[in-house]
Structure formats: C-alpha cells, structure tokens
Amino acid sequence: MRRSAQAGAPSAWFDPPGGRAGAARPERRRNLRLAGPGERLMRAASLAGLAVVTRAGESIGTLTELLLDVSRGRIAYAVVAQGGFMGLGERMQPIPWRALTLDVAHGHGLVLDATRTVFESAPGFDKDHWPERPDPAWHHALHRHYRCPPYWE
C-alpha cells in the first residue's frame, strides 16, 4: 500500500451523521452485488447494512457508517452497530478500515481480521453520544488494539 507523505495522527474526529442515529435497520442478508462502476470501485452507500463477521465466520454486527479522512482521501474507520433491539441499547464500534476485508465472493460482507473477544473489548460508544474529537492517542490505541497500521501511514 502506498504511504502518504503526511505522517502523524489524524487531526480531527468526524461529526456524527445528522438525523440517522435512530433509524432502524432491518437485520437481513444483503445481496452482495454492490453498486458501482466496476470491481474495484463501488458506492459507499452500497456498503451500509452489510454484515460484519469475524475471520471464524461469527456475526458481530452491521456496517452503519464509513468515516473518511477527507484531507488524506482515505477511509479511516468503519462503524459497526452491535446489540440492542430496534435501535435501543445499540453500541457503535469504530473499526480501522485496514482491519476489514470485503468478501463479496463468499457472501460474508465484511470480514474482521480479529476474534469476537478483540472486537467486544475495543472502545465503542452509544449511538447517540459520538466521541468529541478523540486525541491522537485514542486513534493510535484503536489501531494497536486491532493490530493494524494506522490509516494515515
């Protein structure tokens, strides 16, 4: 993967999505023929709602958001919704994009290169209380937790 000329930690967090925090998402297996102009390009919106599984095939949640570092032109994190019932008590878990693999061929959606235990012990937040601009140490710790290089490197 190409290294960015800009090194260091991300300078800002991302604002929570407006008006979508309480939207209910049906739990369903999606057709993994993702919309886009080709095999390597796809619409980000077509990823929302994909199942996220561990490398052992255990379901751990559903992709709700992609967080972009717009200054670097990179996907920073995938936000996975876990638990709850009809949007109540749902926990949001940011996962570094580099810790995930899109597995369209086998119909798995996104595969996390970690165990359920690693996922469940990662820092998360309530869907209605997104973190306010975590400091660089938070970003570093999250990438270390998932054993993947930071997205800005």
Q: Give the separation between CA 115 and CA 60, rounded to whole angstroms.
A: 10
Instruction: Give yes or no for residue 35 having a pLDDT over 70.
Output: no
pLDDT score for 63: 94
- Looking up residue 71, the CATH number of its domain turns out to be 2.30.30.240
Residue 9 is assigned to a structural domain of this protein: no
Residue 2 is assigned to a structural domain of this protein: no
Q: Give the separation between CA 36 and CA 25, rounded to whole angstroms.
A: 22
- DSSP lists the bridge partners of residue 81 as 62, 92
Residue 63 is assigned to a structural domain of this protein: yes
Residue 18 is assigned to a structural domain of this protein: no
Strand (E) or helix (H) holding 101: strand 100-103
Residue 5 is assigned to a structural domain of this protein: no
Instruction: Give yes or no for residue 29 having a pLDDT over 60.
Output: no
Residue 124 is assigned to a structural domain of this protein: yes
State how many domains the chain has: 1
| Tens digit of each residue's pLDDT (9 = 90 or more) over 78-99 | 999 887 666 566 788 999 999 9
Q: Give the separation between CA 83 and CA 125, rounded to whole angstroms.
A: 12
pLDDT score for 90: 73
CA distances from 19 to 24, 38, 51, 80 (A): 12, 31, 22, 17
* Domain span including residue 49: 44-145
- For 27, counting Cβ atoms within 10 Å of its Cβ (0-12 exposed, 13-18 middle, 19+ buried), the class is exposed
Residue 119 is assigned to a structural domain of this protein: yes
Question: Could you tell me the pTM of the whole model?
Answer: 0.72
Question: Are the CB atoms for 91 and 124 separated by under 8 Å?
Answer: yes
* Higher pLDDT among residues 21 and 134, named by residue: 134
Other CB atoms within a 10 A radius of the CB of residue 8 amount to 10
